[in-house]
Amino acid sequence: MAEAALDRNHHGPTYDMRGLGFAAGDVVVVTGAGSGIGKATALAAARSGLAVAAWDKCAETNRVTKQEIEALGARAVAVTVDVADGAAVARAWEPTLQLGPCRYLVNNAGPPSNSVACFEDNLTIAVGSVHGVTTSWIGHCPTVAAALVNISSIAGNFQGGGQAIQPFYPASKAAIAGYTRYLATRYRGAPRANAVAPGLVITPRTIPFLDMPVIAETAARIPMGRLGFPEEIAGVVLFLLSPAASYVNGVLLPVDGAWAHA
């Protein structure tokens, strides 16, 4: 594994993304924005000129995300919400819409791959929350909804996932990919719907496991020789959301250093 990939405080590259064609001040909702890929995506959105509604069930980490977005000069609101709770999602729109109509959505929140809750419950949360938030977003923004990106995984889509994760995880990520293709054809590009399939990424959820031999073995099988960083996923998410990807619809894009093809 590359040494940089083991640095707990290291982050991937960040870029000025204002050239992607977003209108300044347009609003994106990012679920699970308190940490990991969600936080990196929220910050990348701010760098692109978007205002960010950061949704997370952890108020403290989400508050920090909001502060970092505002430090970049972007508008933000932090909304404490469990996306698996339909009533909570409905309430979340009142503070969210204070930023303005939400043209963009990133469905990132979901149970961790090692969650030991029962298969059916985890599957319902992981897939049902994506459907619930998406349906609610379209209902609140029927004339402005432009694009959404769902966070899937290479697990369940390009590989089985192995022994280190619970069975609901590849099942739910495959379902999210299928749901994304449904949205892409159902709404005929208004909004566009795409999905990203990350490989193994260094996040607060994975950091406790980085010293395990299986992680080093996994990294050795990745053609790029290292794990990914949240910022490397976020850049792809922002491209797929953006007007620069205006003819990209229904795609499941792996971002895994070619691990799935090794």
Write out the catalytic residue numbers. 169
Q: Name residue 68's amino acid.
A: E
Using an 8 Å Cβ cutoff, are 68 and 43 in contact? Answer: yes
**Which residues touch 240 (CB under 8 Å, ≥6 apart)?**
147, 149, 194, 196, 248, 251, 253
- Cβ neighbourhood burial of 7 (10 Å; 0-12, 13-18, 19+): exposed
Report the distance separating Cα 112 and Cα 166, nearest Å: 9
Which own/partner pairs from 21-25 qualify as long-range (CB within 8 Å, at least 24 positions apart)? 21/242, 21/243, 21/244, 22/48, 22/49, 22/50, 22/242, 22/243, 23/49, 24/49, 25/49, 25/50, 25/51, 25/75, 25/100
Interstrand relation of 102-107 and 76-80 (parallel, antiparallel or unpaired): unpaired
CA 116 to chain centre: 22
Report the distance separating Cα 217 and Cα 187, nearest Å: 42
Using an 8 Å Cβ cutoff, are 25 and 103 in contact? Answer: no
Give strand pairing partners of 197.
Answer: 254
